[in-house]
Structure 1
């Protein structure tokens, strides 16, 4: 049992009292990639390929991930290494060759940047209509950094939370981190975002996201959370984060760890639900005791911790991995939430798993857990229409089909209604499917033949 929040501050950093010492956060970026790649035993050519990928897609990790989560005796097979370090296959062969030539030839930074931007433009940086369809307006003017796709839910992207303690190689929000301001979704003005929520009483849930809002100080986060508790229509506050497993000290020994948890502890007594939505990809992330300590401290605030992540080729495309993950988080007091399909953006061709295979992984893992862990939904695609869940395959009137339904939708009337697509074992995204038996209502604009 972790100590009550009000009493822990005196013990933080005191290893003699049984509490972990307070390490200093150290980030590693592309400048450190050669040193880290040598530690992995990579050849000079492989190191060059990693640098070429890192010139296009973001790379950032930290001392905790490097020292505590990666098995350096077998790094190339290690899921957390693949999760956090660039892989050559993340770029197409022509793009990788071009970027490798530029990096190897020490081309001017402006030339490398132009080439990288050209590659990024072909990687679908903003999928699912998030710029054109999800943007918020107030009194006829845009509200930057607020996304309003579903009537009851608003996403807020604080400018101060536009990074993470470490980046996932498959991150669907990679445009937030590549140094192109035109690709970034962020607000500089908490008051503006809050005014939008007040003006839309249909919004009952606000998700603070990024990047990762928990790279912000507790004081900056307070400017977003406390005013939400004054808005009667807001029933729940969500905080999306990777900090639990990429920097668990954020909740234990960071200078304002107790202040952060005291802020969390204000939410539930005000009659609101607080969900800390943790992104998890592999059970290896929860094996260090510090991560479990961090989780206990979050739960002690009254927050519910919900865990989600995508099924990713080469990292967790194995039912045993998912069963272990869901069983572990349930045992530790958290709630399995979503298993996602890798989004149609960035290096998805490298990491994607066919929908049929993703469903098989989900089904086989689901069969290995108790009812308490079967809160999880999946595999789910976050599409333009909404969150589409793959429910399996069936035969209808002699035709093999995939059965799907919308967990969440732009058009609320479509939620929960089954629909069908022609069976295709190679499809990796909704747009690869052909509607069947009247599914055009659910999948407008997709090919029918």
Structure 2
């Protein structure tokens, strides 16, 4: 593949192609194509020593508008930006790279920066990993009673990495930061021992990086469990490698596995991550969506609101309309989580609500299945319902969509209005000394 074509090829060109990944070793060549100067390319490499970089030929050839790079939203979606990290940290690593410092010294500097980026938000290690049998269950999170998250060891990468990804710590090669399990029997036994669990979500990374035979080893033992109502698969494969379901060697086998889940009486919820309308345009995506839906699976769509990529109501309106037309179900608009380069990508909650409302009011009722803007915070999923005046005070109206304390789900509460707030921790309670989840 040539990396200097000026025009993106038509979507159908990918049919039958094998997957080809681009990693840090390709970064200098690709960023040169985007018109970056040598100094800018070096700064980009510095950021990529801290945060993971991976993309592929489909994203490079068919989604990025290279004539608009580096400002193109898809380019910004997958390529590190020099100002994503504190300037002093970037300058230090740039200096190390420039003088070709030993790899050990560069890695130590990168590790130090990572430690400051809250690699595991919302108490993921301290609060969410359950104990069972002889100890903690590797690769499992159990935050809400009815839902278990499982991180298969073989699914701990993606077809491409998003620059804003809140699971970036899974991809940097540090085993102390990674969540991963490979014992399908332990997963089944844990669910069976916890009758309150009605849904299992396979996540990662991306569960769809796995081949059919590997995914089957995790899924099949769950199909006989009467208590389970749904199996969910969290994935961005429809946006980054739709060939997975159309032309990949095991595409048909994967779809037969989906059919088997549905035939067992479970709801197969395919949790598709679309961040920008352009990801929905290629012919290959539409064919992949059709084939998945034909198995009986339900495709629900979600993404975070990201500054410089999709912080425009027109983008969300376009996505929700297109997704509805294609038979998918708009599900969540998330707030960028308090991890990684949050300061670079975050949109203030007041602005996030305006963007959500402006898009929401412009779509039909069929697309208004979507919820948001929602923060996946330590106590639960907090939705911003609006800004209003009560008793002469301007406040945010909020409620829990999900909560560690199930009694708080759906109950409204209020926070003092703060135009600069980007996360729950930035807010102060209104009309009370503390928030309900702090009592």
Where on the TM-score scale, by shorter chain, does this alignment land: which range? over 0.9
Instruction: Calculate the TM-score normalised by the size of structure 2.
Output: 0.96
**Which position in structure 2 is the counterpart of 1:261?**
255
Find out whether 1:425 has 2:419 as its counterpart. Answer: yes
Root-mean-square deviation (CA, aligned residues, Å) is 1.2
Deviation at residue 191 of structure 1 after TM alignment: 1.4
Contact 1:422-1:434 at 8 Å conserved across structures: yes
Per mean C-alpha deviation after superposition, the further-off stretch among 132-141 and 416-425 is 132-141
Gaps of 5+ in 1: 1-17
Equivalent in 47, 58, 66 of residue 53 of structure 1: 47
Q: SS at 1:82's partner residue? A: helix
Deviation at residue 77 of structure 1 after TM alignment: 2.0
Q: Spell out, residue by residue over 1:47-103, the C-alpha distance to the aligned partner (whole angstroms, 9 max, x if none).
A: 001100000000000000000000011112211100000001110111111111111
Equivalent in 187, 209, 215 of residue 203 of structure 2: 209
Q: Spell out, residue by residue over 1:148-170, the C-alpha distance to the aligned partner (whole angstroms, 9 max, x if none).
A: 00000000000000000000000
**Which position in structure 2 is the counterpart of 1:295?**
289
Find out whether 1:414 has 2:408 as its counterpart. Answer: yes
Find out whether 1:151 has 2:145 as its counterpart. Answer: yes
**Which position in structure 1 is the counterpart of 2:74?**
80
**After the TM superposition, which parts of structure 1 deviate over 2 Å for at least 4 consecutive aligned residues?**
18-21, 438-443
**Which position in structure 2 is the counterpart of 1:96?**
90
Q: Determine the C-alpha separation between the residues in 1 that align with 2:433 and 2:154.
A: 42
Gaps of 5+ in 2: 1-11
Q: Determine the C-alpha separation between the residues in 2 that align with 1:50 and 1:252.
A: 34
**Which position in structure 2 is the counterpart of 1:331?**
325
Please show how residues 36-435 of structure 1 align to structure 2 within 5 Å: 36-435=30-429
Deviation at residue 441 of structure 1 after TM alignment: 4.2
Contact 2:24-2:48 at 8 Å conserved across structures: yes
Q: Determine the C-alpha separation between the residues in 2 that align with 1:269 and 1:439.
A: 51
Deviation at residue 192 of structure 1 after TM alignment: 1.4
Deviation at residue 193 of structure 1 after TM alignment: 1.7
Q: Determine the C-alpha separation between the residues in 1 that align with 2:285 and 2:432.
A: 47
Q: SS at 1:440's partner residue? A: coil
**Which position in structure 2 is the counterpart of 1:440?**
434
Contact 1:145-1:193 at 8 Å conserved across structures: no
Deviation at residue 438 of structure 1 after TM alignment: 3.0
Contact 1:20-1:253 at 8 Å conserved across structures: no
Q: Determine the C-alpha separation between the residues in 2 that align with 1:311 and 1:142.
A: 33
Contact 2:14-2:58 at 8 Å conserved across structures: no
